[in-house]
Structure 1
Amino acid sequence: MEFWNMIIKIIFSLQITSGILGNVSLLIYYLVYYIKPTLKPTDLILMHIMASNVLIVLSTGVPNTLAAFGLKKFLNYFGCTLVLYIQRVGRSVSISITCFLSVFQAITIIHKESCLKDQKVKAANCIGCSIFLLWALSIFINFIFLVYILVKRNSKNMTRTRDFEYCSTRVNDNISDSLYVALVVCPEIFFSVLIAWSSGTMIMILYRHKQRVQHIHSSPVSRRISPESRATRKILVLVCTFLAFYTLSSVLQGCISLLYNHNWWLLTINRLTSLCFPSFGPFILMRHYSFMPRLSLI
């Protein structure tokens, strides 16, 4: 058990270090080099993804790492509820804006395949308002859940305590469970399905385009991998990584919510998987959008 505790401490430390360095480096990169009128629409979306990832890493990774190193129950009830609120806001914003990025990319590609040539311009113009709306909805929806938990903390219906090691809260209220499913779980499922659909659409369009120009790529002049194949691989890596980590995290959180006796391994794996995409996602995005060479100064 001591061996596994040491491994978990190392993994948590690596996740926090990589998550903070990766996300903050990209934020600094955008703030220093890209705050100008030529800021690309995708860059603006990525800035907000990085900001939400920082929230997740700080609110989830730091408390779990301190608990893994032996600092237990250092948050009171209000602090615990506030940390959980920040976690949920960061997670909701990360999922929703990643979905928005995937849909925007699909619109950009469809623009080249259809006669609706003004769709890309319209999408670029409404990006700022859409991102602001996603942040506002995530903050407001999770704030409703936060207020309900604080108001009902002394209720007799809250009969079970959920231990997070760094703090604990009282749960098992039917209304709070229904609110969580309706306001948090259902939107996450919808956004995940939308991400899968938009990514599948992009891959299909790129595949059809590749088939139309197959005679060019198969000629002796062009020996390299086609741009369509490279773009398809990047999209697949990004969406599969995102969906895999967040789907696994959602399933584990559902199991924890339904089970009364929480297994130590189940709780630990859930905490580790919830940090995977926020911690390692920036490095996937660096490769996906090919701006790694421009980060040499940072």
Structure 2
Amino acid sequence: MSSLKNILYFQAGLGILANTFLLCFYTFTILGHRSKPMDPTSCQLTFAHILFLLAGGDNWLAVILESLNIENDFKCKAIFYTSRVMRGFSICITCLLSVFQAVTISPHTSLLAKFKHKLNTYIFYAVLYIWFFNFLANSHMIFYVGGFNNVSETNQMRVTQSCSLFPMNYVISGLIFTVTTFRDVFLVGVMLITSAYIVIILFRHQRHCRHLHSIRHLRVSPEKRATQTILLLVVFFVVMYWVDFIISSTSLLLWMYDPVILTVQKLVVTAYPTITPLVQISSDKRVINVLKNSQSKCQQIF
């Protein structure tokens, strides 16, 4: 158990550091008017991942709230509500990124081409809707999560050492489960469809290039590099999502609290927000150039 906890601490810490670096990079890039169309959205995604890792990783947010003498009930509500909102925002934005990339690389003769000239406007309104929807869709966490109380222990399901999930009305729980499942299945389905479309476009483009150039002289374009990054993130997210879905569904069906299962689930759900910034950093030439320039300046100083 202690080894799993140590892995979780390391993973969450690495994710927070990587996302914080990327958040600073996107912020300075946007303020410097050198940003790309999806940089503002990616900036919000990194911010959401930082909050998610603080709330759902090794519970650093709980430590912060405890240091402020916040009562346990409010602390539990704040942590779980923040975690659910940021997780929902993450899956929505990942889907939005895959759709954006599919539209961006679509041929001029395709049906998606007509959306290119208004894509930035659509993205802006889509992000606003995503924030509003996730704040509203997860509001039930405020009412059905609270501090663990030994007096009514049989009516609660412990989800952490000090927090519990209260039983819901069958109608309410069924409605919440239906809305959440429909959202996740729909978004994952869109990701898979757009990913398949992107793969087909890349395959056709690569086959066309082979007829015009020697394979040795082919260079990876920024568009293709960005597309490959989105594909990698989508595939990784879908895999982690279904593993988390299986674990959480099993826990709810058994209505039991197991610290080991909870820690494993946290490792799974925090894997995506930890890996995402590392993939983005390694695939974005702008970030790589910043790191190289910083390294050369440090070598000159020392």
Q: TM-score, normalised by structure 1?
A: 0.82
1:39-72 residue CA offsets vs partner (Å, 9 max, x unmatched): 22111121111111011101111328989xxxxx
How far residue 246 of structure 1 moved from its aligned partner, in angstroms, is 2.0
- 1:210/1:60 CA distance change after superposition, 3 Å: same
Match of 1:129 among 125, 130, 137: 125
Partner of 1:178 in structure 2? 174
Please give the per-residue CA displacement for 1:53-101, whole angstroms capped at 9, x wherever unaligned.
011101111328989xxxxxx9623321221111110001011011111
Change (3 A) 1:188 1:288: farther
Equivalent of 2:101 in 99, 105, 110: 105
Give 1:267 deviation, angstroms: 2.1
One of 5, 28, 48 as aligned partner of 1:9: 5
Q: 1:266: how far off?
A: 2.4
Q: Is the 8 A contact 1:52 1:90 kept in 2?
A: yes
Distance 1:182 1:115 in 2: 32
Number of residues of Structure 1 aligned to a counterpart in Structure 2:
282
User: 1:171/1:203 Cα in 2 relative to 1: closer, same or farther (>3 Å)?
Assistant: same
CA contact (8 A) 1:148 1:176 kept: no
**Runs of at least 5 residues in structure 2 that lack an aligned partner in the other structure:** 64-69, 296-302
CA–CA distance in 2 between the matches of 1:64 and 1:268?
14
- Checking the alignment, whether the CA contact within 8 Å between 2:30 and 2:40 is kept in structure 1 is no
Counterparts of 1:75 and 1:250 in 2: how far apart (Å)?
31
Structure 1 residues 295 and 16, CA gap change in structure 2 (3 angstroms): farther
1:270-298 C-alpha deviation (Å, 9 max, x unpaired): 11111111122110122333333134249
Please tell me whether residue 57 in structure 1 is matched to residue 53 in structure 2.
Answer: yes
1:71 is matched with which residue?
Answer: none
Q: Of 262, 267, 272, which aligns to 2:267?
A: 272
Structure 1 unaligned runs (5+)?
Answer: 68-73
SS state at 2:106 partner: helix
Say if 1:256 and 1:262, in contact at 8 Å, map to a contact too: yes
Contact residue 241 and residue 277 of structure 1 kept, 8 A: yes
Percent identity reads 26
Does the 8 A contact of 2:62 with 2:79 survive in 1? no
Q: Please say if 1:209 is aligned against 2:192.
A: no
Aligned to 1:19: 15
**Which of 242, 248, 255 is residue 253 of structure 1 equivalent to?**
248
Check conservation: 2:55, 2:61, Cα contact below 8 A.
Answer: no
- Once the 2 structures are TM-superposed, how far is the Cα of residue 105 of structure 1 from its aligned partner? 0.5
Q: Residues 1-59 of structure 1: CA distance to partner in whole angstroms, max 9, x if unpaired?
A: xxx41x22321221221111111111111112322444221111211111110111011
Determine the structure 2 residue equivalent to 1:242.
Answer: 237
Could you say which residue in structure 2 is the equivalent of 1:284? 279
Compare 222-231 and 42-51 and name the one that shifted more.
222-231
Note closer, same or farther for the CA distance 1:288–1:250 as it changes in structure 2 (3 Å cut).
farther
Aligned: 1:197 with 2:169: no
* Aligned match of 1:83: 79
Is 1:162 aligned to residue 158 of structure 2? Answer: yes
User: Quick one: structure 1 residues 34 and 244, their matched pair in 2 at CA, closer, same or farther if it must change by over 3 Å?
Assistant: same
1:27, 1:51 within 8 Å by CA — same for their partners in 2? yes
Match of 1:114 in 2: 110
| 3-state secondary structure, aligned to 1:168 | strand
2:75 and 2:118 map into 1 onto residues whose CA distance is 42
**Distance in 1 of aligned mates of 2:16 and 2:50:** 6
Distance 1:150 1:169, change over 3 A: closer
In 2, Cα distance between equivalents of 1:83 and 1:90? 11
Q: Distance in 1 between matches of 2:98 and 2:195?
A: 6
Once residues 75 and 263 of structure 1 are traced to their aligned partners in structure 2, the CA distance between those partners, rounded to angstroms, is: 24
Distance 1:114 1:133, change over 3 A: same
Q: Quick one: which amino acid aligns to residue 44 of structure 1?
A: P
Cα deviation, residue 226, structure 1:
5.8
Q: What's the offset of the Cα at 1:185?
A: 2.6
Q: CA RMSD for the aligned pairs?
A: 3.1
Other structure's SS at 2:161 match: coil
